[in-house]
Structure 1
């Protein structure tokens, strides 16, 4: 709807009522309540299920029906002064009123008043704050984002209490008019980064935004890459930590999944628990995660390449054992690996889509039954079942679900290369992936930073998880605003004094 003169709120009550009824024709959930304010007529419009009816009766209709309320309607700002509603403001156009009505506000129109009023009385059913199921940890906060935007922003405000944390609103989607928030810490996030994100969100022209994945697909640098360039999380502590590093967050109404940008491959492989445990434990688990990252990508391909072309690389006793287990297998190693990998992926997806009560049982029992039956039937060998099982377990070590999916996708073309060219094909596939990662950007930031390009100071949070007192500087993203997080000399020192014994 264009905002021309015909969209302005009319002093005529009937004209405003006809305009709203015309827009919401055949909308049974939109209610209009007409009443008298002394000698003047008025009406309120609201959407059923999105408004607190008790507050509407108590704080709006009751005060307006009292004697003397009509005198306040003569002044454009007079009505809010007699209403005990915190969020009450004028609206100048019907289009603005529709936007507020769709967000749960109550619209108030008085005959003869030059403007309408939007009253913030929104109330709807919402999910309570719970622990994120996909990002469970042993030590750390147990709260996660919900589908309600103001609840999510309040959780961020509880962690970052400084007014330097800015929240910029957007309205995206011609039909859904979804509220999108850009969150950053002023002075930490580079101005160029903030400007770039604002421009990309402002350029979005689509009929509807139903989840943050829509925003991610419309603002990322390379949509054809299998690797995610924007981190996704349900955890307020992860978002807060990213904001303190100079990144920005994008919150979307109606979904608990928040976008963090820019992101790198190493940020995708980090868990919030790395920073809550002692630094030696965090470093050990991080190296374990890197190791299983490589296993997820290349183990089946390595097994296929060695069995097909490079028998001399296997010890004789192990080679004889594998050959004995494969003597009745009718398929080559490549077909055997593809058969098991596809079956395992199907079982994993089935376990995710099924109800929670039966999903885990079906995936576990299905994997055991199918693996045992396939081995007994002579379709696959026992070593191949072990390789696929280890690869599947390794993929569960990846903290970011989207990154794990990317590795699962790339495993198949590398497997084909290994089956056709052996270790040469495996290396060609790995080199192609590394070249692609080196060329990838996340809002202009290199995807392999700080490894490529090399930034020595930032490596203390990549290959190792340095102690908190040693991480004095923030990651260098698109600028160098407020580079130091803490002054020197924060390392704990043993107390001095005599032995009390």
Structure 2
């Protein structure tokens, strides 16, 4: 098996090359310290970047008599070119102090201290740091004769405007949604939570992509142990690329082998702010509008942001409806299969006669009907997502109608099965969290098979197994079924039911830190008695005319 060992050796070499530090002797000719010669530094940059056309090099002459050669280097498209020209190049060319200096080191020091009208100016001595800053959108200033560079923060470029998120729309509340810019997303949350205890810690992940990742939490509310655990898991990630927050989600979750999500993701800044105030931690990833929230619990995936903006009775009704719809989307086809196959006595006689008449010409058993229709609807749903928006919805709707009608007329499936599968498909769209909805779509097939095997006994056994599995799961140390298991009566006011806001005096247990107080005591509205409220006409203002 020599080829097998060769393959292992190649894999090990690739891993070693991935972990190789840029400052190793082999790469010292392109990643060592900055050279004194400006031309040599520029050649190193061009060599390292492969003479890429988007690497812009602007050479200037400054100092006394224009004797000192300087160069401004940036990457077009990810740097703010307008700021570079207006606040950087013009500042250097028009600076009177620079025209009096002869030494290149003094010139760079003066540029960093006075000449550059930009924030975030600092010095770099290592070429590796220069490349990291350059690829992040910063501008590098080099001078002939100086063994360090000045790096100015000029991150910019084109980015998508802030709009309402398409996947998490709300009839009441903010219309702002996250975009692909990390700094913009952080600012959207800071505009809501104007508190110095809102802490942000940035890090870089991915040995190749160098993706910026930010951790956000409220100090004093968030549990310190949870913060340390999140940092530990993020620090343990060794990967070459982070292209979306889903990469991190799959690398830090507690239970990898489950269809149910243990990390919540959202596009709404107000939802992130609300979860931060409950003691959760937000993980932002540059290049994606989806922000991760940990820890996550099961009931959280059935809650929507407008539940907190509406009256408690309306929110309670809607939440209860969502949970009921979730179970409909989970077991409705299985119940139909089990009832028509094993438990016909549980169906009313009139309905049973109708179903039997419809199934008389159908050549397949109920389980085959259900699986065929479910697979067909999944294909249509996926096709509707992948097709252009202008025709995607039309194709999915028309396709469902045509296929359903044709299947019934051909005698392949019964009309009752088409109705059941259609109700199930519609119910799956009512779950606010897509991750939980798609989990129900997957688990649904197992319930159909269980119902076809042992009827309702299989469905009940499947539900027991599912709830045992859910109770065994954790999300960053927090039981997944909190506050049902463990049973915490104080937190039941924000589960399937949503109690009035004036009853939420404390934050959820197992999430918050020592600061559990959310609002003042006895915030229940206490309007005056009807007899105490009188209009001015009833009271009399003392200015009645005298008779």
TM-score range, shorter chain: over 0.9
* 1:45 to partner: Cα distance: 1.1
* 1:369 to partner: Cα distance: 1.1
Aligned counterpart, 1:169: 202
Aligned counterpart, 2:340: 307
* Aligned counterpart in structure 1 of residue 372 of structure 2, from 303, 326, 339: 339
Aligned counterpart, 2:22: 2
* 1:123 to partner: Cα distance: 2.4
Change (3 A) 1:343 1:174: same
Contact 1:300 1:391 in 2 (8 A): yes
* Aligned counterpart in structure 2 of residue 267 of structure 1, from 290, 297, 300: 300
Task: Give yes or no for the alignment of 1:408 onto 2:437.
Answer: no
Q: Runs of 4 or more off by more than 6 Å in structure 1? A: none
* Aligned counterpart in structure 2 of residue 55 of structure 1, from 67, 83, 87: 83
Q: How many residues align?
A: 501
Matches for 1:29-48 after TM superposition, within 5 Å: 29-37=54-62, 38-48=66-76
* 1:359 to partner: Cα distance: 1.2
Aligned counterpart, 2:15: none
Contact 1:73 1:79 in 2 (8 A): no
Aligned counterpart, 1:143: 176
Aligned mates of 2:78, 2:22 — CA distance in 1: 26
User: What secondary structure sits across from 1:407 in the alignment?
Assistant: helix
Aligned mates of 2:51, 2:111 — CA distance in 1: 31
Aligned counterpart, 2:10: none
* 1:351 to partner: Cα distance: 1.2
Matches for 1:23-422 after TM superposition, within 5 Å: 23-37=48-62, 38-66=66-94, 68-69=97-98, 71=101, 73-75=104-106, 77-80=109-112, 81-422=114-455
* 1:36 to partner: Cα distance: 1.5
Q: Could you tell which deviates more after superposition, 474-483 or 85-94? A: 474-483
* 1:378 to partner: Cα distance: 0.5
Contact 1:63 1:69 in 2 (8 A): no
Q: Could you tell which deviates more after superposition, 384-393 or 471-480? A: 471-480
TM-score, normalised by the number of residues in structure 2: 0.89
User: What secondary structure sits across from 1:181 in the alignment?
Assistant: strand
* Aligned counterpart in structure 2 of residue 457 of structure 1, from 465, 479, 490: 490
Q: Unpaired runs of 5+ in structure 2? A: 1-20, 539-547
* 1:84 to partner: Cα distance: 1.4
Aligned mates of 2:104, 2:442 — CA distance in 1: 64
* 1:10 to partner: Cα distance: 2.7
User: What secondary structure sits across from 1:74 in the alignment?
Assistant: helix
* 1:73 to partner: Cα distance: 4.2
User: What secondary structure sits across from 2:361 in the alignment?
Assistant: coil
Aligned mates of 2:278, 2:97 — CA distance in 1: 56
Question: Residue by residue, what CA displacement relative to the aligned partner does 1:371-410 show, whole Å, maximum 9, x if unpaired?
Answer: 1111111111111111111111111111000110000000
* 1:478 to partner: Cα distance: 4.8
User: What secondary structure sits across from 1:17 in the alignment?
Assistant: helix
Aligned mates of 1:99, 1:397 — CA distance in 2: 44
Aligned mates of 1:154, 1:73 — CA distance in 2: 38
Task: Give yes or no for the alignment of 1:499 onto 2:534.
Answer: yes
Contact 2:220 2:513 in 1 (8 A): no
User: What secondary structure sits across from 2:350 in the alignment?
Assistant: helix
* 1:297 to partner: Cα distance: 0.8
User: What secondary structure sits across from 1:357 in the alignment?
Assistant: helix
